[in-house]
Amino acid sequence: MTIRVIILNGGSSSGKSSIVRELQTALPEPWLAFGIDGFVEALPARLREGEEEGIAFAEDGGVEVGAGFRVLEAAWMAGVVATARAGARVVVDDVFLGGAESQLRWQQALEGMDALWVGVRCEPEEAARRERLRGDRVTGMAASQAGPVHVGVRYDLEVDTTRTPAPACARAIATRLRGD
């Protein structure tokens, strides 16, 4: 089994992006990074600013997505998978707002490919603290996502960044990837 795709799932401010950067350093082969934040940033402004078909961020940190978002998300996923099918190794940083339903969308996009599924957990209080320090997220998003993004999701490996730094989490993922 040759894994060409690693999918990290965790709530906002859980440490996924830091782990991705550490993985790119720790793994001997080059791995491309694709993240949900980059996808959202690539959306037309009207889909990022509350249009019904896009993505909307509530004042309490809730996130709602519309049908237009889902269509473009499916195209983005297909593109990420096509990159892996073309020979690149890919690590994805995502937030499964729909828990198991979100994982199913990735599984369908990955049809016929193996992936390493990694849950990135962080206690809500710590994620909220990081969110405040970042200053680029809606307050409440991190705490509200910390648990629900994992509901019904099946992982090959879970890491917890509450007290474990990103380099150690990346080493655990690299070890699992090598089958050690």
Tell me if 113 is assigned to some domain. Answer: yes
Phi, psi of 164 (to 5 degrees): -105, 125
Tell me if 121 is assigned to some domain. Answer: yes
State the Cα–Cα distance between residues 90 and 159, nearest whole angstrom.
19
Q: Which residues contact 43 (CB under 8 A, 6 or more apart)?
A: 54, 55, 69, 72
Tell me if 134 is assigned to some domain. Answer: yes
With bands split at pLDDT 50, 70 and 90, how would you rate the model's confidence at 138? Answer: confident
- Residue keyed to tokens 């996923």: 77
Tell me if 56 is assigned to some domain. Answer: no
With bands split at pLDDT 50, 70 and 90, how would you rate the model's confidence at 1? Answer: low
Q: Which residues contact 27 (CB under 8 A, 6 or more apart)?
A: 89, 174, 177
Largest CA distance in the chain: 47
- Residue keyed to tokens 């073309």: 86
Residue 135 has pLDDT above 80, yes or no: no
Q: Where is pLDDT greater, at 105 or 134? A: 105
- Residue keyed to tokens 């799932």: 9
User: What is the domain count for the chain?
Assistant: 1
Contact 155, 121 (CB under 8 A): no
With bands split at pLDDT 50, 70 and 90, how would you rate the model's confidence at 165? Answer: very high
Tell me if 93 is assigned to some domain. Answer: yes
Q: Which two tokens stand for residue 86?
A: 């073309």
Average of per-residue pLDDT across 5-16: 97
Residue 180's pLDDT is 58
CATH number of residue 164's parent domain: 3.40.50.300
Average of per-residue pLDDT across 79-97: 98
Tell me if 32 is assigned to some domain. Answer: yes
Tell me if 58 is assigned to some domain. Answer: no
Mean pLDDT for all residues in the chain: 94
Helix (H) or strand (E) holding 113: none
Tell me if 62 is assigned to some domain. Answer: no
With bands split at pLDDT 50, 70 and 90, how would you rate the model's confidence at 146? Answer: very high
State the Cα–Cα distance between residues 110 and 82, nearest whole angstrom.
9
Q: What is the percent of the chain with per-residue pLDDT over 90, rounded to a whole number?
A: 87
The question of whether 37 is a catalytic residue gets the answer yes
Residue 89's pLDDT is 98
Q: What is the percent of the chain with per-residue pLDDT over 70, rounded to a whole number?
A: 98
Segments forming the whole domain that contains residue 146 = 5-38+69-178
With bands split at pLDDT 50, 70 and 90, how would you rate the model's confidence at 137? Answer: confident
Residue 60's pLDDT is 82
Average of per-residue pLDDT across 11-22: 97
